[in-house]
Amino acid sequence: MKNWLSEAPTVPANCGECPVRHLTVCQPLKAERLEIVQNFKNGDRVLPAGSQLYQPGATCPELYNLLDGWVSLYRVLESGRCQILGFALPGSFLGFQPDLHGPMLHGAECITDVAVCVVGRRTFPALIERPRGLAVRLAQMLSQDAIYAHDNLTNIGARQARARVAHLLLELYLRLNGGEFKTANQEVGIPLTQIHLADALGLTSVYISVTLRQLREEGLLSFRKRRLQILDPVGLAEVAEYDGEPAVQDISPLDRRLAGG
Amino acid sequence: MKNWLSEAPTVPANCGECPVRHLTVCQPLKAERLEIVQNFKNGDRVLPAGSQLYQPGATCPELYNLLDGWVSLYRVLESGRCQILGFALPGSFLGFQPDLHGPMLHGAECITDVAVCVVGRRTFPALIERPRGLAVRLAQMLSQDAIYAHDNLTNIGARQARARVAHLLLELYLRLNGGEFKTANQEVGIPLTQIHLADALGLTSVYISVTLRQLREEGLLSFRKRRLQILDPVGLAEVAEYDGEPAVQDISPLDRRLAGG
DNA sequence: CGTATCATTGACGTCGGTCAATTCGTGTGG
DNA sequence: CCACACGAATTGACCGACGTCAATGATACG
């Protein structure tokens, strides 16, 4: 697993040059206050595809802003089965957990070559209390993480395989495009193998294969050679049981049971 | 669905009397600073079992500290299928999301009679920036929410039905007992129907029924009439593929694939 | 005592897993 | 430039876990 359709990731000279600042936890900081976090930084780091940012069960002395590349967050059961919890894209803040200095509850593996901005764990509490708005921004991002997890949970728990695959690819497409469809049939690069999809969706890679073939034969999407093409957005959203903005529920789960739905 | 083995929930006279203060978002506040949040409070509220704290897709003008009772967080697909995202216990902070004033991305239904402490959404940003440590505590709790979601995700995505049921009940038992086993065969009240379990685990209620019978016949646990009894903690943890503290992984998901595991 | 909900059980069907063989694609070394 | 190696993807045969449907029982509340 090598480079991802691009040269090696590069790192910014300083926080002012950070290419993903508006996506990161630093977002609320005005330019002149950036040097506060700059002083807390332990520099940047580049990791090759396939390497581990941190491992489940081990302690990790740092926290990371993902600057470039894709990272998978995962857990492994004793049975050997691997569950991918989600995919982190540039701007993600990685490694925070309630017990800040305890062993990591999940692992982080670089899917592509990756660049991260490093912050020491020991100094982090001092940093987070300093600039106004930083802690709230962190809360906002963690809340978004929980929502992504809820999306995945709903996807795995409540949808059939076809819908799961369709939904995940649609969601990734939208995340990469800022939530909108660009030109029709536009291709977008997604550096995942069918094994990644399987581990993320609670399926096997062979069933991913047949499902992708079905979706392709139905003219909904094409995902080959790590390039995704949405051929029929409307049809795909239907198959995916996608609810962009959930409609107001005038009927509760309890009532639905009572109604005999 | 009525009362939960106890009289109606009561609310504290003031924050100093709050029975779950050490579990809530207010935890870091010293007693003398509690009046800051007290002044932001919109009072308390009691809701009957079966009612909705807020509904998916609707706006909600408040945030809630859960003081007493059980709440289920859920989503509903157009297909009608309901996915329970998790169960909130006293101390949980409910309703926060990245778009603070946007429509709720999930619903919250009272499983039992419930008491909540209410905070207005409009005034919340001012509150959260005020007392030192409050925003960080919020981040900590949201991070814990993400971890619970990851637990459920792993449970649904990577375990068989038997293990899923065992794992969920074991986890609830431990949450209620502060993470430890008390006296052997102790009973604990869990106000969930088999339908709740099914919606939380991505299974059907009839399969929950047969699975519970199996687990009972194997002498692992008993869950009848909303009372759970752990009969064989060790055996149950085994069936549940439970990893309390995950072991350090000396082998990455990538390596495992390469090793042909 | 009547009714609504929850729980249980059995027969049957299917979605998705397992196993195994083959092909494809890409990077490596001669 | 070609041969090789190795992981990723594809395909088919078979099977089992779990869902669906339907009927019956057990509880609790009015």
**Residue B182: pLDDT band with limits 50, 70, 90:** confident
pTM, to two decimals: 0.93
Task: Tally the residues of chain A.
Answer: 261
Nucleotides of C under 7 A from a protein CB: 4-10, 15-20, 25-27
Q: Closest Cα of chain B to A251: distance in Å?
A: 9
Note the pLDDT of residue A260: 47
Q: Which residues touch strand C (CB under 7 A)?
A: A 2, 160-162, 202-204, 206-207, 225, 257-258; B 1, 193-195, 205-206, 209-210, 212-213, 224
Percentage of residues in chain A having pLDDT higher than 70: 90
Rounded, the Å distance between the CA of A161 and C1' of C15 is 9
Instruction: Identify the weakest region by mean pLDDT among A173-187, B107-121, B225-239.
Output: A173-187
Interval B235-258: pLDDT, tens: 999 999 998 654 555 566 666 665
B103 contacts in chain A (CB < 8 Å): 245-246, 248
pLDDT tens digit sequence for A155-212: 999 999 999 999 999 999 999 988 777 777 788 999 999 999 999 999 999 999 999 9
Q: Using the beta-carbon criterion (under 8 Å), do B246 and A159 form an inter-chain contact?
A: no
Nucleotide nearest to A210 (CA to C1'): D10
The predicted structure's pLDDT at residue B40: 94
Per-residue pLDDT, A180: 79
Cβ-Cβ contacts under 8 Å for B12 (sequence gap 6 or more): B18, B19, B44, B67
Lowest mean pLDDT among A11-20, A195-204, B106-115: A11-20
* Mean pLDDT along residues B80-105: 97
Q: What is the mean pLDDT of residues B91-117?
A: 97
* Residues A158, B133: C-beta atoms closer than 8 Å: no
State the angle between helix axes of B194-201 and B134-158 in degrees (0 to 180), rounded to the nearest 10: 90
Q: Given an 8 Å threshold on Cβ–Cβ distance, is A150 in contact with B105? A: yes
Mean pLDDT (chain B) is 91
Q: Does B28 have pLDDT greater than 50?
A: yes
H/E run at residue B233? helix B233-239
Q: What is the pLDDT of residue A162?
A: 98
CA-to-C1' span, B9 to D19 (A)? 39
Closest-CA residue of A relative to B261 is: A80
* Model pLDDT, residue B185: 79
Q: What is the DSSP string of chain A?
A: ----SSSPP---SSGGG-TTGGGSTTTTS-GGGHHHHHHHEEEEEEE-TT-EEE-TTS--SEEEEEEES-EEEEEE-TTS-EEEEEEE-TT-EES--SSTTS--SSEEEESS-EEEEEEETTTHHHHHHSSTTHHHHHHHHHHHHHHHHHHHHHHHHHS-HHHHHHHHHHHHHHHHTTTS--STT-EEE----HHHHHHHHTS-HHHHHHHHHHHHHTTSEEEETTEEEES-HHHHHHHTT--SSPPP-SS-HHHHHHHT-
Q: How far is the CA of A89 from the C1' of C28 (A)?
A: 31
Interface test with A, best of B1, B83, B255 (most A CBs within 10 A): B83
**What confidence score (pLDDT) does residue A255 get?**
63
- Locate the chain B residue with the closest alpha carbon to A102: B245
Query: Mind telling me how many Å the CA of B16 is from chain A's nearest CA?
Result: 25
